[in-house]
Structure 1
Amino acid sequence: MVPVVVVASIGVVAVLLLLIIYVTRKKRPLKALRPSIVGKKRSLTYEEVKEMTNNFARVVGEGGFGIVYHGFLNRNEQVAAKVLSHSSSQGYEQFKAEVELLIRVHHINLVSLVGYCDDGNHFVLIYEYMPNEDLRKHLSGQCASSLLSWESRLRIAAETAQGLEYLHIASKPPMIHRDVKSTNILLDELFQAKLGDFGLSRSFPIGSETHVSTNVVGSPGYLDPEYNRTNWLTEKSDVYSFGVVILEIITSRNVIDQTRENPYIVEWVGSRLANGDIDNIVDSSLVGDYDSSSMWKALELAMSCVSPTSSGRPNMSQVASELKACLFSENSRKGGRSDVESKSSNELSMSNGLVENPHAR
């Protein structure tokens, strides 16, 4: 009789254990994917995120991923908490991709991931806070207190180029950002540029393989036409998008403006260059306060970046080097010392198209 009772007891316990496992998995269907994103970055609970953001009191941004809130980590470190919306077209896979990428990469011109929350159905990315918002807001005049000089624009472009160069060359594995645009170039308290939003980033093959075949994603106006046509993604797709950003920096005009004869900025600038109408390309708010040589070099560089075919575009090492030269030229005109020159030689030295120490932190 005793053995029967023991067997029955064991059976009840086994059923209970199976029931617990089933319920747990049902409530947290993504749990099996999650161990791969655990790293050195701090993992927070959703309650900790609520406390950190004062119950999501201050909104500092909004995008396809969800809403971004201001917060304080450890009571004194300002952070930005990007909360995945349940209605977002971007899902857990992109959340996971961004965490895994930012755990691996460390660069002075890439936004740092401070931590993340992967708690039940709550997914939050926690970044260093960038108080001067994004480049687009400054170029469009939304930040009335700040008119970016030509020197500042070149420095921001050069720093962003160095961040992209790091992704393409020094990251392990090399990465393609896939969503380079002015709203993803963020500015810290010193107006140092940092590239953010890595949810669409992809690794790309090295060696004999030259591209990744993938569904087309990106932002209208910045999208590489060759990639859009062939579904073949290469690092030159980022180069195209960055070329569009340089055109924004030069003109301060919208990437797409349906009121223009040529709505897309690449076509608009190209048509004016073809007609010799150069004066109306440069942002009038600069009122001629720029080194003309560096301006035209930057314009030529931008147009080479937006070549219709990837083979006609420079790589990001070449782009970064050219922008650095433009910045030195502008500062020589002003008889001053550039911000770039004041940085360490490690941060800026390039040789034979390769970064000697590509800002790894």
Structure 2
Amino acid sequence: MEWWKKKKARAYEKKVRLIGAKLLEEVIECCDGKSNPIKFFSPDQILEATDYFSNSLPELDYYEWYSGKNEKHPMLLIKRCSREYTYREEELLCRDIAISSMVSGQKNFLKLVGCCLDSQDPVMVYHGVKKHYKLDLRGQPWIRRIKIAEDIATALAYLHTAFPRPFVYRTLDLQDFLLDEDGVAKLWDFSCCVSIPEGETFVEVDDLAGTCDYLDHNYILDGIVSEKTDVFAFGIVMLKFIIGDRRFHKLLKEEEEEEEDLLTWVSKLVDEPRMDVIADSMMLQEMGGIPKQEICRMEAFLMLSKRCIGLRGEVPTMTEVAKELRMIQRSIASSSSPSGETQLDSAQDISFSSC
């Protein structure tokens, strides 16, 4: 019996070494060998930090999440990948760790502290705050939705522009963001990110990843991933911010019987001229209707969503999208005159379409 235990232990140690080697490969490939330091925790340190995994955060799903702390970090957020990992899943985990180490200095990403690879279930450790929330649109007023959208756009623009080779997130979904105690949106889980080779504008992939709602035709049909893959997905996110996530899926389900593709259906949906018909009824109820000064901002937001999806004009870059959303935000404070009339004559007034 003792020999069997030793055999299992040797096999497990070999597996950990292979994962560590794969992580090193990912760091070299993604980061050109340059990344923020990645601390490796022991299984005992993780158990101690989480009080033996007793501090669970059930409000954060998909993975198992825990709050924790140690002598250097009074607050930690710990993600436990509690499932039997295949070789492919190990690759995705290493990609996630490598890219997380690259983006940790930007405020709209979860900040990676380190990981534990030699436990039964791999663990990623992030800097914690007092509270993290899943993004639930039902609890977000209109002005907060604009700010969250800007946070998301800023994160994607950073992935596209901050490194020698652009990174495309490619699986954008409302579930990919957490809100901290200050309401700042943070992107996480980079396991499906792909990099575009220098000098190229796209890369072809063999495997499709992501939710169908957010996938553009080039990606679905030909496996072509470019920065526009994220821009299209973000346009769908913006549309959901306007009309509501649940209503989006309800309307989409109703139209599936007509066998229309997503783009045709979205085009019909946003052709409705009245904003009080398009906008999320729950959001409008909280607002008490749409104040006159908000009509222009909603129209500008919707117009930008159309451009991202490819329904109007040239598709913008994520940097341009982030700029436009910042401008829409600034108009909140400056658009109303003392008489209460808006100083913006149309949604186009706050567009960066010439960028």
TM-score for the superposition, normalised by structure 1: 0.75
Aligned to 1:256: 249
Query: Which amino acid in 2 is paired with 1:97?
Result: R
2:138 to 134, 137, 140: 140
Give the SS at the match of 2:97: helix
2:329 to 318, 327, 330: 327
Query: Which amino acid in 1 is paired with 2:94?
Result: K
Is 1:69 aligned to residue 62 of structure 2? no
Aligned to 1:41: 38
1:22-101 equivalence runs, <5 A: 24=10, 27-35=13-21, 37=23, 40-60=37-57, 61-63=60-62, 66-74=63-71, 77-87=74-84, 91-101=89-99
Aligned to 1:214: 206
Going from structure 1 to structure 2, the CA distance change for 1:232 and 1:266 (only over 3 Å counts) comes to: closer
Contact 2:134-2:177 at 8 Å conserved across structures = yes
Structure number having the greater helix percentage = 2
Going from structure 1 to structure 2, the CA distance change for 1:36 and 1:334 (only over 3 Å counts) comes to: farther
Runs (5+) with no aligned partner, structure 2: 1-5, 25-35, 339-351
Query: Which amino acid in 1 is paired with 2:114?
Result: G
For residues 334 and 252 of structure 1, the distance between their equivalents in structure 2, rounded to whole angstroms, comes to 26
Aligned to 1:318: 320
Give the SS at the match of 1:211: strand
Give the SS at the match of 1:279: helix
For residues 132 and 123 of structure 1, the distance between their equivalents in structure 2, rounded to whole angstroms, comes to 21
Going from structure 1 to structure 2, the CA distance change for 1:266 and 1:82 (only over 3 Å counts) comes to: farther
For residues 76 and 26 of structure 1, the distance between their equivalents in structure 2, rounded to whole angstroms, comes to 30
Q: How many residues align?
A: 309
Contact 1:205-1:212 at 8 Å conserved across structures = no
TM-score for the superposition, normalised by structure 2: 0.76
Is 1:118 aligned to residue 117 of structure 2? yes
For residues 52 and 215 of structure 1, the distance between their equivalents in structure 2, rounded to whole angstroms, comes to 37
Going from structure 1 to structure 2, the CA distance change for 1:33 and 1:305 (only over 3 Å counts) comes to: same
Query: Which amino acid in 2 is paired with 1:46?
Result: P
Going from structure 1 to structure 2, the CA distance change for 1:165 and 1:288 (only over 3 Å counts) comes to: same
CA drift at 1:230: 0.8
Going from structure 1 to structure 2, the CA distance change for 1:304 and 1:116 (only over 3 Å counts) comes to: same
Aligned to 2:275: 278
Runs (5+) with no aligned partner, structure 1: 1-19, 142-147, 337-349, 354-361
For residues 282 and 187 of structure 1, the distance between their equivalents in structure 2, rounded to whole angstroms, comes to 23
For residues 258 and 249 of structure 1, the distance between their equivalents in structure 2, rounded to whole angstroms, comes to 15
Q: CA RMSD in A?
A: 3.2
For residues 154 and 265 of structure 2, the distance between their equivalents in structure 1, rounded to whole angstroms, comes to 27
Identity of aligned residues (%): 25
Is 1:300 aligned to residue 292 of structure 2? no
Query: Which amino acid in 1 is paired with 2:41?
Result: L
Aligned to 2:342: none
Going from structure 1 to structure 2, the CA distance change for 1:123 and 1:172 (only over 3 Å counts) comes to: farther
Give the SS at the match of 2:125: strand
